[in-house]
Amino acid sequence: MAFIVECVRGRPGEPGFTTFDISTFAWDKLLSLAREHGWKPLGCVYDTGFGASQPHWGQPTDYGWEEWLYAKRISDDDARNLAEALRSVDASALPQGGPFLISDSGFVDPGIAASARQLAEFSADGGFVFAVDD
């Protein structure tokens, strides 16, 4: 069983609701590449809309993926800066492999290069909430 980082913008059934899935491997790799290409992470916060209220909600945290009870939010500016950094990555230098099935849910991992383009496109539209699922 593989894990997927699920990214969500908006609420189901409302205008503008969008989702994006990426493998945990690609998420970790692409955030590292973005930092190498000028992304200066602003930090994310735990999102109060997805889990039980906790004393540390609203406190800055890292971009490590956790389950939905501990979903994290990336701000609009941070997401757009992430997109800009990912767009500066030379895609021809990234592995072009894939696609292959990675999850029983039907998620297909398109490979690092395609994931970089897709995450950049998703992030360019602004902030989102993310968490891991299987």
**What would the pLDDT profile of 78-90 be if each residue is shown by its tens digit?**
999 999 999 998 8
pLDDT in the model for residue 79: 97
pLDDT per residue, tens digit, the chain (134 aa), is 468 999 999 988 889 899 999 999 899 999 999 999 999 999 888 887 766 555 555 556 789 998 888 889 999 999 999 999 999 988 777 665 554 545 555 555 667 888 899 999 999 999 999 999 87
CB 20 within 8 A of CB 27: no
The answer to whether 99 touches 110, Cβ cutoff 8 Å, is yes
Distances from the Cα of 29 to the Cα of 8, 13, 23, 25, 88, angstroms:
20, 32, 10, 6, 15
Question: Which residues make Cβ contacts (< 8 Å) with residue 99, sequence separation at least 6?
Answer: 108, 109, 110, 111, 114
* Position 67, amino acid: E
Q: For position 16, what pLDDT does the model report?
A: 87
Q: Kindly state the tokens that stand for 2.
A: 């593989």
The pLDDT, as a whole number, for residue 123 is 97
∠ CA 5-69-124 to the nearest 5 degrees? 40
Q: How many CA atoms lie within 13 A of 36 on its CB side?
A: 8
pTM (2 d.p.): 0.83
pLDDT recorded at residue 86: 93
